[in-house]
Amino acid sequence: MELSHKINKLRTGEAWESLLDSYYRWRRPLNPTEMVRILEAKGLEQIRSKYANPEDKKGWPKYVDADHRLELAVKQARSLRLDRRRSLRILDLGSGPGYFLFVCKQLGHQVMGLDLDWPPMYAELFEMMEMPRCLWRIEPFQSLPDLGGRFDFLTAFAVCFNAHGSDHVWGPKEWEYFLDDLEKNILSESGEIYFELNPEPWGYHTPELREFFRQRAAHVEGKRVSFKPRQSVPPATPSRKRPG
Ligand SMILES: C[S@@+](CC[C@H](N)C(=O)[O-])C[C@H]1O[C@@H](n2cnc3c(N)ncnc32)[C@H](O)[C@@H]1O
């Protein structure tokens, strides 16, 4: 590494951050192979053989590959620095097979998923991992249900609930309603949000949506959109719908 690059890393604090990353990798080891073994002892192989479909490399059957998915999930949890936080209440929207939450659980966090009631493989995986999941379809201009408490960290990877891939993908109005609801009713006072969007034909977001996120003080970097804790929280709205 060039001297100037090293000096720059020291100047920006990058060197300190990478030292901390190494420290936490040592302090909080997360071994995907070990996790697969734990899941195999709980019946992963039955789920694998029931749903594996080598013909379908893009659809949900790809999630039977727990080794690969847990490797990704460990990277996601580390990059969100969830390996160095006190026990948080984490809600993952569109939680799919649940590997990310399983890694969070190994780190001592309290987790909850939210997803559609299909495919049944997701329900079986959540049951095997002993994690709670709320069955709910996120719809534009509709509040989320009462989830039995507030959450410190809200995540959503490969977001599809924004009508991804359709001709009515969410714009600023839909996102505004959704984010307001999260802030008023779902997040704790120090709650944070992290999304990873899916690409649309025009990219991850239109310039209009990017500007909207930025006006709400989001950090936007490609598919990644994150919101740090808010300064103040408006009072919770009463009478919430119960999940079906
Ligand atoms: C591409 S998968 C991503 C799964 C997981 N987050 C991951 O990254 O591996 C999208 C997930 O969003 C869920 N989903 C799609 N539309 C939804 C909606 N309107 N409300 C709730 N979940 C939805 C799907 O069932 C699926 O689990």
**199, pLDDT greater than 70:** yes
- What separation in Å is there between the alpha carbon of 227 and the centre of ligand 1? 20
* Among protein residues, the one whose CA lies closest to atom 18 of ligand 1: 161
Q: Are 166 and 139 in contact (CB under 8 A)?
A: no
**HSE value, Cβ hemisphere, 13 Å, CA-based, for 140:** 13
Helix spans in the chain (H): 3-12, 14-27, 32-41, 44-51, 66-79, 99-106, 120-129, 172-181, 207-215
Mutate to test the pocket of ligand 1, among 100, 103, 116 (most ligand atoms within 8 A of CB): 116
Cβ(152) to ligand 1 under 6 A? Answer: no
Asked which of 1-5, 14-18, 73-77, 187-191 is least confident by mean pLDDT, the reply is 1-5
Token pair in block for residue 115:
């997803």
141: left (phi over 0), alpha (psi -120 to 50) or beta: left
The total domain count for the chain is 1
**99, pLDDT greater than 60:** yes
* Among protein residues, the one whose CA lies closest to atom 12 of ligand 1: 94
Q: What is the pLDDT of residue 241?
A: 58
Distance of CA 222 to the CA centre of its chain: 16
Cβ(96) to ligand 1 under 6 A? Answer: yes
94: left (phi over 0), alpha (psi -120 to 50) or beta: left
Predicted confidence band at 14 (pLDDT cuts at 50, 70, 90)?
confident
Residue 243 covered by a domain: no
Residue 26 covered by a domain: yes
For the entire predicted model, the pTM comes to 0.91
**239, pLDDT greater than 60:** no
Residue 188 covered by a domain: yes
Residue 30 covered by a domain: yes
- What separation in Å is there between the alpha carbon of 46 and the centre of ligand 1? 23
The fraction of the chain above a pLDDT of 70, given in percent, is 94
Distance of CA 109 to the CA centre of its chain: 13
Cβ(116) to ligand 1 under 6 A? Answer: yes
**232, pLDDT greater than 70:** no
Q: Are 134 and 112 in contact (CB under 8 A)?
A: yes
Helix spans in 28-161 (H): 32-41, 44-51, 66-79, 99-106, 120-129
Residue 237 covered by a domain: no
**235, pLDDT greater than 90:** no
Check which CATH number belongs to the domain holding 15 and give it: 3.40.50.150
Domain span including residue 177 = 3-227
Residue 103 covered by a domain: yes
Give the pLDDT confidence of 128-173 residue by residue, as tens digits: 999 999 999 999 999 999 999 999 999 999 999 999 999 999 999 9
Residue 141 covered by a domain: yes
Residue 238 covered by a domain: no
- What separation in Å is there between the alpha carbon of 115 and the centre of ligand 1? 6
More confident residue, 76 or 9: 76
The fraction of the chain above a pLDDT of 90, given in percent, is 86
Q: What is the pLDDT of residue 152?
A: 98
Mutate to test the pocket of ligand 1, among 136, 157, 161 (most ligand atoms within 8 A of CB): 161
